[in-house]
Structure 1
Amino acid sequence: MSRGFEVITKYQNKGINLPERQTKNAAGYDFEAAEDFTLPSIWKLNFIKILWNLWHKKDNDTVTIENAQKELKPLLIPTGVKAFMGENEYLLLANRSSNPLKRRMILPNGVGIIDADYYNNSSNEGAIFFQMLNFGVTDIHISKGERIGQGIFMPFLTVDNEKVIEKTRDGGFGSTKK
């Protein structure tokens, strides 16, 4: 069984480093940002009015709520990398332990899951992104090559008597829908 990383086509010849473990006993492979990226503070976004209204026990109109919902979401930091792995494996994406404490950066869903069939999918070639929110009061500038998260290859089990699944992935990020 083989597993590893490759640079996606868009970032070929752009000096992208493949993820590496930093110490002999490290479980995670450190991912770097593929380009300079600014992660804005959530406090600069258009939902402060809603918080003000809530604090002062006033109603929020639908338009204000809709506008805030459009803005208050994680951003995707590109890594320029894709991962290949065995059929019964996945790549677990996790935040660096120092990010929340030192930089106020969090993965809003806690972890990311990269399935084996995400590799070379038709919509984005299997490009790996880290979803991040900045809960600090100032924007964070992330430089190309800066470590932003880590990935750990993991096996998984399936249930006994599972029905045969014929469906195959037909897209990229967030494409698995019922």
Structure 2
Amino acid sequence: MGRSFAIVEKYQKADLKLPQRSTKFAAGYDFQAAEDFVVPSIWRHNVLQVIWSIWRQNRVTDEAYQGAHKDFKPVLVPTGVKVYLEDDEYLMVANRSSNPLKRGLVLPNGVGIIDADYVDNPSNEGELFIQMTNFGLRDLKIKKGERIGQGIFMKYLVTDQDAQDEKNVRQNGFGSTGV
């Protein structure tokens, strides 16, 4: 199949740019936001209420913890892009180094791993999303076309016994291979 990027069907007419490297020796291909998007700050009422209760050594209810957990939930920023990979490759999605320092944006999972079978399977075209959490004090508005992350192509190895293990065929998209 080869190694390449393509625009997903939903964004075919959105005038998006395919990821590219910014400099001659850059390892990562820069991903841009496919549309204007707001990444909410984690510092919401529920989070502050739980922190205040803990600080005052008050009992915190399960409901309060659940509400705070929802405020901490990351968002998926759309890129409008999918990636084609060789069978023994994956795309590592990483944060831009300036995002945490300048904008308070982090990838809560550290890095994202895009497998070669993520694209064009029976229920998923394979759009890449950048998972983000905003530790800034205010909601952050990302404009369409802003660089939000980077992808680095990587090879991987398997064990000698790997061929004897039965493998499933991917049927879905984001988070579909785990529990």
TM-score, normalization by structure 2: 0.95
| Alpha-carbon distance in 2 for matches of 1:39, 1:45 | 16
Measure how far apart 1:113 and its partner are. 0.2
Measure how far apart 1:45 and its partner are. 4.9
Deviation readout 1:19-42 (Å, 9 max, x if unpaired): 000111111000000000011111
Q: Is residue 45–residue 72 contact of structure 1 (8 Å, CA) maintained in 2?
A: no
Q: Is residue 106–residue 134 contact of structure 2 (8 Å, CA) maintained in 1?
A: yes
Does residue 127 (structure 1) correspond to residue 127 (structure 2)? The answer is yes
Using the TM superposition, name which of 160-169 and 91-100 deviates more: 160-169
| Alpha-carbon distance in 1 for matches of 2:138, 2:102 | 13
Measure how far apart 1:126 and its partner are. 0.5
Q: Is residue 44–residue 71 contact of structure 2 (8 Å, CA) maintained in 1?
A: no
What SS does the aligned partner of 2:99 have?
helix
Partner of 2:10: 10
Using the TM superposition, name which of 84-93 and 118-127 deviates more: 118-127
Partner of 1:71: 71
Deviation readout 1:15-72 (Å, 9 max, x if unpaired): 1110000111111000000000011111125221110000011111121112222232
Gaps of 5+ in 1: none
Partner of 2:96: 96
TM-score, normalization by structure 1: 0.96
Q: Is residue 38–residue 139 contact of structure 1 (8 Å, CA) maintained in 2?
A: yes
The percent identity for this pair of structures is 54
> For the structure 1 residues 47 and 123, does the alpha-carbon distance in structure 2 shift closer, same or farther, using more than 3 Å as the test?
farther
Matches within 5 A, 1:150-169: 150-162=150-162, 163-169=164-170
Partner of 1:175: 176
| Alpha-carbon distance in 2 for matches of 1:121, 1:45 | 40
Q: Is residue 118–residue 124 contact of structure 2 (8 Å, CA) maintained in 1?
A: no
Deviation readout 1:67-125 (Å, 9 max, x if unpaired): 22223211000000000010000000000000001111000111000000001133331
Gaps of 5+ in 2: none
Q: Aligned-pair RMSD on alpha carbons?
A: 1.2
Matches within 5 A, 1:35-114: 35-114=35-114
Q: Which amino acid aligns with 1:136?
A: G
Q: How many residues get paired?
A: 178
